[in-house]
Amino acid sequence: MKKTLSIFIILFGLIIQSCSNDDNENEALKPVDFSVSLKYDAAFNSQVVKKASVTIVNTETANKYTVESDEKGVALFKQILPGSYSITATKVIPAAEFTETFGYTPTEAEINFNGAASSVIVNAATATVDIEMKTSKVGDFVIKQIYYGGSDTKKGAVFRDQFIEIYNNSNTVQYADGLYMAQLTGSTTTTVAAYTLANGQFDWSKSEGMTIGNTANTDYVYGINIIKIPGNGTQYPVQPGKSIVIAQNAINHKANYVDNNGKAVSIVSPELTVDLSTADFESFLGTYSGDVYQYDIQNPAVPDVDIAYWGNSNNDMILDSNGRQAYVIFKMDDSKFTALKKYKNPKGDKNLFLQIPNSVLIDGVDTTKDLGSGLVPKKLASQIDGGNTYLPSGAYSSKSVMRKTKTTIAGRIVLQDTNNSTNDFVEVTVNPRGFN
């Protein structure tokens, strides 16, 4: 009898514990109210940001919610599921509203402010999150299209047809001479470690030899491969509303060809890839490395870009097909570029990254694998890119990310540039020099 009673007591205890656990789990999954409080940075007297668009994305489910901030600068999200969220906020202010708000007239017709936060844990204990909104000058050159996904691995050109397109979004002639384009890499996971920030991105202040503290994270980006447009300063004009295409390989990828090893390569489905034989520039690593890659086909009719810095073992300008890089364009004096410092990432990997100051950046785009479990920590400050873009169709899908068309002025297409790629870019079927 005593034995039976003991067993009953144990079973009863387990039932009570199970019920308690169920109650805790139900409480943890109970929807909560969550708010984002927005203020401009100190340069704008930390005023509250009214009527800004705030988007939060659940990084586990990819569920997305957008709310406008109220008169107190607060965006309230009602009854959302607890979890980890990324947050982007953007505010586009026309010149007249800017003058009324801040008391002076800007030089631009519109001013863009952005703010962002990653890996924000939302639960019953989280009432609100504060985000600071910053602005930067909208550039004359913008990154228009990034074709990093590539085409089908059996029927297309795999990654060989990748390219990046840069557009003159101004109403005056711009010169591409001396323009740098950098591929930025960093942590590819939001997992937090001793060498990362709270969002999983590398804490560059912990890199070997770094002496500038947290400004290593806030004031710089880190390039692994960097190319440069050649020229004497006025050799490569880009007319308003026109672009330049920088190809990995400037050949007609729709056509069969012979690679550098003498092997015939057949393209099974030409419609899946693109003709880049009329690209403006191509990357050719053979001259730089002395080792010609099998698929690094050089087109004598297309100028080669200069290889300004090459920090990994890739023997061609290979963009990450999974969208785990970021891309920036910038200009600076050759002597200042040569003086830039190189660091290993704080994880201690062998590659050296070139430290580039945010102050020279003209434009930048953060890409990610997806907005859910494949979310990649941002590499760019919110004033450079307040969001990120990605390919819902995934790698090798013949899709690219392309900047949206904003308007047309006297026949010149003006592209949207709010310094927030979540708003500015969409996925399209790859189309060099095409428009969304």
For 279-290, how does the pLDDT look when each residue is reduced to its tens digit (9 = 90+)? 999 999 998 988
pLDDT at 402 over 80: yes
How far is it, in rounded angstroms, from Cα 327 to Cα 324? Answer: 10
How buried is 272 (Cβ within 10 angstroms: 0-12 exposed, 13-18 middle, 19+ buried)?
buried
Amino acid letter, 372: G
- Whose tokens are 């710089």? That residue is 220
Is the distance from CB of 163 to CB of 246 less than 8 angstroms?
yes
How far is it, in rounded angstroms, from Cα 274 to Cα 2? Answer: 81
pLDDT at 435 over 60: yes
pLDDT at 1 over 90: no
Paired sense of beta strands 220-228 and 306-310, if any? antiparallel
Q: What is the model's pLDDT at position 248?
A: 98
Domain ranges of the chain: 32-135, 141-429
Q: How many CA atoms lie within 13 A of 267 on its CB side?
A: 22
When pLDDT is averaged across residues 323-347 and rounded to a whole number, the result is 97
The mean pLDDT value of the chain amounts to 92
Q: What is the per-residue pLDDT across 196-254, written as a single tens digit (0 to 9) for each?
A: 999 999 999 999 999 999 999 999 999 999 999 999 999 999 999 999 999 999 999 99
Is the distance from CB of 69 to CB of 75 less than 8 angstroms?
yes
Phi, psi torsion values for 65, nearest 5 degrees:
-135, 140
Q: What is the model's pLDDT at position 104?
A: 86
Paired sense of beta strands 83-94 and 342-343, if any? unpaired
How far is it, in rounded angstroms, from Cα 409 to Cα 406? Answer: 10
How buried is 45 (Cβ within 10 angstroms: 0-12 exposed, 13-18 middle, 19+ buried)?
exposed
pLDDT at 24 over 90: no
User: Whole-structure pTM over 0.75, yes or no?
Assistant: yes
Q: What is the model's pLDDT at position 3?
A: 52
- For domain 32-135, is the CATH number 3.90.340.10? no
Q: What is the per-residue pLDDT across 127-164, written as a single tens digit (0 to 9) for each?
A: 799 999 998 767 799 999 999 999 999 999 999 999 99
Give the whole-number percent of the chain exceeding pLDDT 70. Answer: 93
Q: How many CA atoms lie within 13 A of 411 on its CB side?
A: 3
Mean pLDDT is lowest, of 85-99, 228-242, 304-318, 389-403, for 85-99
- Whose tokens are 């505010």? That residue is 91
Q: What is the per-residue pLDDT across 166-210, written as a single tens digit (0 to 9) for each?
A: 999 999 999 999 999 999 999 999 999 999 999 999 999 999 999
More confident residue, 101 or 303: 303
pLDDT at 354 over 80: yes
User: Residue by residue, what is the 3-state secondary structure of the chain?
Assistant: CHHHHHHHHHHHHHHHHHHHHHHHHHHHCCCEEEEEEEEECHHHCCCECCCCEEEEEECCCCCEEEEECCCCCEEEEEEECCEEEEEEEEEEEEHHHHHHHHCCCCCCCEEEEEEEEEEEEECCCCCEEEEEEEECCCCCEEEEEEECCCCCCCCCCCCCCCEEEEEECCCCCEECCCCEEEEECCCCCCCCCCCECCCCCECHHHCCCCCCCCHHHHCEEEEEEEEECCCCCCCCEECCCCEEEEECCCCECCCCEECCCCCEECCCCHHHCCECCCCCEECCCHHHHCCCCCCCCCCCCCCECEEEEECCCCCCCCCCCCCCCEEEEECCCHHHHHCCCEECCCCCCCCCEEEEEHHHEEEEEEECCCCCCCCCCCCCCCCCCCCCECCCCCCCCCEEEEECEEEEECCEEEECCCCCHHHHEEEEECCCCCCC
When pLDDT is averaged across residues 104-119 and rounded to a whole number, the result is 87
